[in-house]
Structure 1
Amino acid sequence: MKKLTQLFVLLTLLFALPLQGYASSIKTTVATNLGVDNAAVTIRDAKTGEIVYSHNGNKAMRPASNLKLLSGAAALETLGVNYRFKTNLYIDGEIENNVLFGNVYIEGSGDPTLNNVDFQEFSRALQKLGIRSVTGNLIGDDSAFSGNTLSPGVEKEDESYYFAARTSAITMSPNEDYDASTVIVTVFPSKVGAAPTYGVTPNLSGMVVSNQAKTVKNGQKNTISIKRSYNSNRIVITGNLPVGSTSKDWVTVPNPTINTLHAIKTSMMNMEIRFDKTSKIIRQQVPEQARLVFSNESKPLSQMFSVFMKLSNNSMGDIFAKAMGQQQYGVGDLPSGANVMMDYSKTKNISMGNWRFVDGSGLSNQNRMTSIGITQLLYEIQSEPYYQTFYKSLPVAGNKERSIGGTLRQRFTSTQLQGRVIAKTGYISNVHALSGYMKGESGKQYIFSIMIENRANGIANIDKAVTAIMKQL
C-alpha cells in the first residue's frame, strides 16, 4: 500500500512539472515584456478550461475593444444569429394625381447597415403607390433607442472621427464597413493654386462644407485635413493636396437621425420624388393613423457580425447593446444593454468579480473586465450553437486579406506565426488588449487574455509576449 501511495505521489509530481515549467517561464516573459503591476494575463487549456497561468487574473482592467467579445456573444444569443434590423416606411394623408397630401415617416430600429441602396428602395415603394410629390414633412421615429447618442467618455477632440460616432435608431452607413453615423469625404486636386474639389458619400446629408484647402504641385507634401467642427454640421477641409493624389476620410454626423433623414430626402429627390418647399425634416413618433407601405430588413446578424469583430466597429457595438436593451427590458439605451450583458455573463457562470459595462463598444474608460473572466467566456462559448459565427468573426493573425485578418492582418506576420493567433484586439488611450485563441508550439490550443495599461509600445510588447508564450506551450 505504501509503495502505491509513493507511486501516486511521484506520478502527480511528474505531471505537474510541465505546468510548473510553463508558469515559471511565462512569468518571466510577462514581467519582461508587459510589466507587473499594470498587466493582467490569463492562459487556459482550450479543451479542458484549466488555467495554465494567471497573473493579476482577477484584477479589473479597462478592456477597450475586448469588451466586444462579451457584447458580441450576448448579441448572438439574445438577438439571435438570424436577427434583422427593420426600418419601416409609413405615409398618412391621401394620394391624388401623384401627389401625397400628407407626410412620409421613417421608423428605425438601429440598422447599422442602412445605406443609399436602401434609400432608393424607399423611393421605389412610394413610386409604386403612384407618389411623385409630397406636400408634407419627412418625419423620423427613432424612439426605439433612447438616452445619450454619444458613448460615455468620448473626448471632445475625438467626436469628428468615425470610431466615436453617435448612434440612434435611425442611422446610415456610407460603405460596407458599416461605420454608422458617418459620411465619407473624398478630396480631388484641381488646378495648382486653386481649391480642390470634393465628393461626399452617400451625400451631404444636411452637412455643409468649408473648403479651405489648396491644390499644389505634384511631389509636394499632402497635408489635407478633413474634420467636423465641434457641435456643428460644418465639415472643414484644410491643407495642401498635390496634383496626382487624393485624400479621403470618414466624418461623423452630429445628429444621426436628422442627418440620415436629410440623406434619405436627397436620395428621394434624386429619384424624382419632389417635396414641397415648406416640407420639413423632424423627429416624431409614427401616429396610429399612418399606413405601413414598406419594410426594409437588414441582412441577418450573422452576416454582419464579421465586420463588427474583425474591424472592431464601435458604432455596431453600441447599437447591438441598445437593441438588446430594447428587446429584453423595453428600453433601448446603453445602461439597459449593459444589464443584458451582465445577465448573459451570469448565465454562463463567468467569474465577473467587479466587472462593469457602460457601453457595448469598449470605448469608455469606465468599463472593467478581468482576464480570468474573459478567458472563461471564451471557453464557455465553445459549446454554444453560435460559436462558429463568433469564432470565424475574430481577426486571424498575419492574414493580409482585410476581411480575414482584420485588425491583426499586420501582426504576427512571420511564416511561423501566421494563423496561430485568432483574437480580438483592443485599444483606447493608455490601454492595449488582446484576447482569443492561440496554438502553442506543441500544437495544443489555448485561450488567452492580455490587458495592459500605461505601457509604452503596447502592441509590440504584447506581440513579443504572445510569441514567446506560444514557444513555451
Structure 2
Amino acid sequence: MRLPHRHRIALPAAVALATGMLMVAAPGATAPRPAVAAATDPVLTADIDRLLTDPRLVGAMAAVEVVDTGTGEVLYTHNSQQLELPASTMKLITSAAALDTLGTDHRFTTDILADGRRTGAVLQGDLIVRGGGDPSLRAEDLDALAQQVADSGVRLVTGSLAYDASRYDDVPLGSGWAWDDEPYYYSPQISALTIASDTDDDMGTLQVTLTPGAPGKPAAVHVVPADTGVTITGAVTTGSAGSDYSVDVTRRHGTNEIVLSGSLPADNGPDDEWVTVDDPARATANVLAAALRRHGVHVLGRTPVARTTPAGARPVASHDSATLGDLLVPFLKLSNNGIAEHLVKEMGRVKADDGSWAAGLAQIGDFLHSNALDTTPARQADGSGLSRYDLVTADRYTALLSYARHQPWFSTWYEALPIAGNPDRLVGGTLAGRMQGTPAQNNVHAKTGSMSGVDTIAGYVTAPDGRKLAFTVLLNNFAGARPRSVIDQIAVRLAGGPSAPAALRAQVDRVPGAETDAGQHGVQGRMWD
C-alpha cells in the first residue's frame, strides 16, 4: 500500500469564495465565546494536561474541550478556539444540519420515465433513468426497477436508454481533495445517479474480489457490480503459501481502466478490494441496461446517453431509498464520505433548488447561525472532512453536541455514532476495536476522524456520576507515531473518573486498533477513521 501523504495548501479568500466554501461564520455570526479563565475541575485538568505531555505531541497542535451538557459548564479546555483540521469529525456538523434541514424521514427516489408514444409493448422514444441522489442504490435495486419496467408491459424501446443526473451539479470531486486519492473508495465521484458496490453504501465504487489459484497462476477476479463498463487490465499472481502480500488495485486517472498488479499468497483466501469508477452515472446506466435485457426489455438505440428528463415524460418505475435516519448508520458508524457529500448537495437542492456544494454549504451555515452554533470562526469546504481546507475548533463541536441533545432527532443521531469497544461492526463502527475492557466501552458515543498528521474525536461520554459530557479532542501536525492512545486515554479518564487506575488507562495502548489506521473495510488506506 502507498503511504499516506498530503500537503497543506494555502487558499486565498477569493478562491474559497469562488468554490463556495463555508468561510469562517455566516454573516452576522455571534462573536467567539470568551476564553475560559480557569478550569472548573482541577483534578480533571491535571489529568488531561499530563496526557497532553505525551512525547508524540511534541511540535504538534492539540485542542481539547469537555463540557457538562446538562449545565453548560466547561470542565476542561485547552486551545479550544484554535482552528484545526477535523478530518471525519466534520461529519457531525453535516449530519446534524441534514437532520435539521431534511428530516429523519427524508428519502432519495430514483425514477424511470418514458419519453415518447406508447403503443402496446412498444415505446417509440427513450427510456430515462433519473437519479434522485440515492447514495445507497445497488445492482439489485436496478434489477427491481427493470422488473417494474417489464411488468408495465414495455418490451421494446425504439430510442435509447438515457440517464439524467441533473439533480446535482456536474462537479464530481470536492475542493481540496487530493488527485492521487481518486482511485480509493473513500474518494468517490459524487453524482445524483450512482451505484453502491456493497451494503456499506460505498457509492461510485467497484468491489474487486481476488481469489488465489495454484502458485504461479493468476488469481481469479470477480467484480461487483457487474456490467458497469469498466476494463480490467493486468493480473494478480498467486504466490506460494506464506509468501508476501503485495496486491494493488487502482484506476488509471481519467479512465475506467482498473489495473491489477502484485501477488496474493495461495493460503490467503479471497481478498476484497474497492476502487472508484469514473462517471458513476454512466456506469449505473450500464448496469440498468444489462438488467433490462435480462428482463426482456430491448432497447434499439445507442445506450446509454446523457440527457435531461423533459417535462412531459411519464413515470414507469421508481425506487425509494431507506430514510435518512437509517442511512445515518453506515454514514456515521463507517464514516462514509460519499453519503456526506450527497447530503450537502441534497440540502442545496431541496432548500435552494441548487444541488451544488456551494448551495449545500450555505444551508449548513444557515443551520449553524440560526441556532447560535457558530461560536468561533471555522471553514467548511465539504461534508465529509476529506478536504484539507476544512478548519474547525473544539469549542464549535462542543456547542453542537450540547445543542443536539435537545433536538427531536437526537436519539437517532446518538445511536448512529460509533460506540467504543463494541465489536459489532455496525454498532462499534470505527470505534469497535478501541477502548475495549475500559470504562469507556459501550459508553462513549463519538465520531472519529484521521488523516496523515490528524487524529480527532468528538462525542459523548457518561461520567461515573451520571453526567452526560460532550468532549472533543483534535490532534494535528504530528509527523511521527500516531498519538491515538492519547485520545483514548482522555475518553477513558472521562468515563472512569479520577479513581480510574493508571494501569487501566495505560491498557488503552494495548487495545487492538489503538495505533493502527484501519478504514471502514479494515484495509490500511490514506484517509482513515
The equivalences for 1:299-378 within 5 A come to 299-378=322-401
In structure 2, what is the equivalent of residue 287 of structure 1?
A: 310
Q: Match of 1:405?
A: 428
Deviation per residue, 1:350-404 (Å, 9 max, x gap): 1432211111111101111110110010001101000000000010000000010
Give percent identity, aligned residues only. Answer: 31
- Partners of 2:184 and 2:492 lie apart in 1 by 33
* Matched pairs, number: 457
Provide closer, same or farther for how the CA distance between residues 20 and 165 of structure 1 changes in structure 2, counting only shifts above 3 A: same
Structure with greater proportional helix content: 1
Alignment check: 8 A CA contact 2:60 2:477 kept: no
In structure 2, how many angstroms separate the alpha carbons of the residues matched to 1:470 and 1:215?
48
The Cα shift of 1:213 comes to 2.1
Deviation at residue 282 of structure 1 after TM alignment: 1.8
Aligned partners of 2:315, 2:496: CA distance in 1, in Å?
A: 60
- How far did 1:323 drift? 0.1
Structure 1 residue matching 2:264: 3-state secondary structure: strand
- Per the alignment, residue 456 of structure 2 pairs with 433
Gaps of 5+ in 1: 1-15
Preserved contact between residue 219 and residue 238 of structure 2 (Cα < 8 Å): yes
Q: Does 1:422 align with 2:445?
A: yes
Match of 1:19 in 2: 41
Structure 1 distance, partners of 2:322, 2:195, is 14
Q: Which residue type is aligned with residue 27 of structure 1?
A: D
Offset of residue 306 of structure 1: 1.2
CA separation in 2, counterparts of 1:241 and 1:391?
A: 40
Do structure 1's residue 466 and structure 2's residue 488 form an aligned pair? no
- Answer whether contact 1:195 1:211 (CA < 8 A) is retained: no
Bigger shift: residues 137-146 or 218-227: 218-227
Are 2:248 and 1:248 aligned?
no
Classify the secondary structure of the residue corresponding to 1:186: strand
Q: Check conservation: 1:25, 1:472, Cα contact below 8 A.
A: no
Letter in 2 for 1:364: S
Give the alignment of 1:69-108 within 5 angstroms. 69-96=92-119, 98-108=121-131
Give the secondary-structure state (helix, strand or coil) at the position aligned to 1:102: strand
Among 290, 293, 302, the alignment partner of 1:266 is: 290
Alpha-carbon distance in 1 for matches of 2:389, 2:432: 29
Matches for 1:38-53 after TM superposition, within 5 Å = 38-53=61-76
**Partner amino acid, structure 1, of 2:148:** A
Secondary structure class of the residue paired with 2:360: helix
Contact 1:205 1:266 in 2 (8 A): no
What's the CA shift string for 1:430-469, capped at 9, x where partnerless? Answer: 1111000113344432110011112231322222333345
Quick check: 1:436–1:447 contact (8 Å CA) kept in 2?
Answer: yes
CA–CA distance in structure 1, aligned partners of residues 232 and 119 of structure 2: 38
Indicate if the aligned counterparts of 2:39 and 2:74 stay in contact, CA closer than 8 A: no
The match for 1:214 among 219, 237, 251 is: 237
Distance 1:187 1:367 in 2: 36
Contact 1:141–1:285 (8 Å) recurs in 2: yes
The two structures have a TM-score, normalised by structure 2, of 0.82
Provide Cα deviations, 1:67-89, integer angstroms capped at 9, x if missing partner. Answer: 11010011111011010101111
Q: Matches of 1:71 and 1:390 in 2, distance apart?
A: 12
Report the alpha carbon displacement of residue 17 of structure 1 after superposing the two structures with TM: 9.6
**Does structure 1 retain, via aligned residues, the 8 Å contact 2:60–2:475?**
no
In our comparison, the structure showing a higher alpha carbon Rg is 1
Change (3 A) 1:463 1:35: farther
CA drift at 1:149? 0.9
Distance 2:47 2:242 in 1: 51
Structure 1 residue 449 corresponds to structure 2 residue 500: no
* Mapped partners of 1:135, 1:194: distance in 2: 46
SS of 2:434's partner is coil
CA-CA distance at 1:309 after TM superposition? 0.4
SS at the partner of 1:413?
Answer: coil
CA RMSD of aligned residues (A): 2.0
TM-score (normalizing by structure 1): 0.92
Q: Distance in 2 between matches of 1:384 and 1:31?
A: 37
Q: Is the 2:398–2:472 contact (alpha carbons within 8 Å) kept by the matching residues of 1?
A: yes
Match for residue 28 of structure 1 among 50, 59, 74: 50
C-alpha distance 471-18 of structure 1, shift in aligned 2 (>3 A): farther
User: How far 1:65 moved relative to its partner?
Assistant: 0.7
Q: Structure 2 regions of 5+ residues with no counterpart?
A: 1-37, 499-529
Instruction: Classify the secondary structure of the residue corresponding to 2:52.
Output: helix
What is the Cα deviation at residue 97 of structure 1?
6.1
Q: Distance in 1 between matches of 2:139 and 2:415?
A: 28
- Whether 1:382 and 2:405 are equivalent positions in the alignment is yes
In 1, are the aligned partners of 2:439 and 2:496 still within 8 Å (CA)?
A: no
